[in-house]
Amino acid sequence: GATIGMVGGGQLGRMFALEARRMGYRLIVLDPGEDTPAAQFCDGHIRAPFEDLNACLELARRSDLVTLEWENADVATLREMERIVPVRPGPAVLEVAQHRVREKDAARSLGVLTAEYRAVSTRAELDEALREVGAPAILKTARMGYDGKGQATLRDASDADAAWAALSAQGDEFILEARVPFRMEVSVICARSASGETACFPVAENEHRNGILHLTRCPARVPPAVAEQAIAVARTLAEGLGVIGLLAVEMFVDADGRILMNEIAPRPHNSGHHTLEACGVSQFEQQLRAVCGLPLGSPALLRPAAMVNLMGEDAGTGLGRPGAADALAVPETALHLYGKASARPGRKMGHLTSLGDDADAAAERALRAWTAMSDPR
């Protein structure tokens, strides 16, 4: 079978590796960690920083195809790798997805709505941007943020000093975005293969806690026209950017039912984990199919589902805890643990997916299982 090289060995890579192995592929992962979640399911582990050009070229030479679960790989390095082996999604997509200003510029140029935003690189530009965008607003580092890190909210102009003090050391490019009074957050994962075939998973509804995804429900509680709009936005972006692989698109639904793009991720997404149990194909198998030129699978939702993340602060993420048995006693509930050694607060340790007759029933089950797992008794 073919050998797939994977940049990044976190939980997304682990779940991808499990699916790829099931289908007979060999895997080599590049990741600086010693015992990363993916490594134990891979045939090879190149343990090196993502900035190590020689290590990246070695990955390319040892693979028939390279894909990514980490979107911040160096674009120039990916271009070098592409001279040896196909890299999917390619450097051009990564270049857009790595930068919050570029991704919003790309969305706008494809006719997709976003919050008002301005690029900011100096303290003076922040003042000007805040006048133009209006308050409240959110200042974000243009690169590298995740789980709400690298963000500061400005209620009004008097918060500008504090926001600048908090963020200015974390980068030299920023974006100021108007804070959207959204009714709901949703996401759509669109797969696109080299032939141009696309398939979108049903719209997921996302609830965050402290900037980190907490609960995903599928289907989302939106009217059919809004769901269609969200799927159209995801497909427009995947096609417009020429993605080969997956594109996850996070969006806001505003009070008028309009869809505003928040950000994109050119890889599997936390809000698609329920696809493992609930859909005709999982997002990980779909990534594999898309990057390998296989026919795409059916993304249809076979049963309503909900997913809750198990964070480091949810003390009960281990199977040894008494609550784990209670969690697994909840009907139609699956436990996923990522094999991370240390449970730091704010770290994603695993997740629970529950199915049910409707998304409310699934969410009630997933939250019941999560409560049992996190109960510190």
Q: Residues marked as binding for ATP? A: 100, 140, 145-151, 177-180, 185, 208, 262-263
Residue among 145 and 356 whose Cβ is closer to ligand ATP: 145
Residue 146 C-beta: closest distance to Mg ion, Å: 5
DSSP state of 224: H
Residue 175 C-beta: closest distance to Mg ion, Å: 12
Residue among 22 and 149 whose Cβ is closer to ligand ATP: 149
Residue among 211 and 295 whose Cβ is closer to ligand ATP: 211
Q: For residue 160, give the 3-state DSSP assignment.
A: helix
Residue 349 has, within 13 A of its CA and on its CB side, a CA count of 19
Residue 139 C-beta: closest distance to ligand ATP, Å: 10
Residue among 70 and 182 whose Cβ is closer to ligand ATP: 182
Q: What is the DSSP string of 255-303?
A: TTS-EEEEEEESS--GGGTTHHHHBSS-HHHHHHHHHHTPPP----BSS
- Name, in order, each residue with C-beta under 8 angstroms of 231's C-beta and a sequence gap of 6 or more: 188, 190, 200, 203
For residue 311 the two structure tokens come to 């964070």
- Minimal CA–CA distance to 15: which of 271, 336, 344, 300? 336
Cα distance between the two ends of the chain? 48
Tell me the backbone φ, ψ of residue 175, rounded to 5 degrees: -130, 140
Residue 4 C-beta: closest distance to ligand ATP, Å: 24
How far apart, in whole angstroms, are the C-alpha atoms of residue 220 and residue 202? 8
Residue 180 C-beta: closest distance to ligand ATP, Å: 4
How far apart, in whole angstroms, are the C-alpha atoms of residue 48 and residue 42? 15
Q: For residue 77, give the 3-state DSSP assignment.
A: helix
Which alpha helices (DSSP H) does the chain contain, by range?
A: 11-22, 53-62, 75-82, 91-97, 100-109, 123-133, 160-167, 224-241, 275-278, 283-292, 322-329, 359-374
Residue among 59 and 238 whose Cβ is closer to Mg ion: 238
Q: What is the DSSP string of 310-345?
A: EETTSTT-STTSHHHHHHHHSTTEEEEE---S---T
Residue among 38 and 175 whose Cβ is closer to ligand ATP: 175
Q: Which does 108 bind (CB under 5 to 8 A by kind): Mg ion, ligand ATP, none?
A: none
Q: Which does 138 bind (CB under 5 to 8 A by kind): Mg ion, ligand ATP, none?
A: ligand ATP
Residue among 42 and 249 whose Cβ is closer to Mg ion: 249
Residue 177 C-beta: closest distance to ligand ATP, Å: 4
Q: Could you list the residues that contact Mg ion (CB under 5 A)? A: 250, 263
Residue 145 C-beta: closest distance to ligand ATP, Å: 4
Q: Could you list the residues that contact ligand ATP (CB under 6 A)? A: 115, 138, 145-149, 177, 179-180, 182, 185, 208, 211, 250, 262-263
DSSP state of 215: E
How far apart, in whole angstroms, are the C-alpha atoms of residue 325 and residue 195? 46
Residue 182 C-beta: closest distance to ligand ATP, Å: 6
Residue among 125 and 147 whose Cβ is closer to ligand ATP: 147
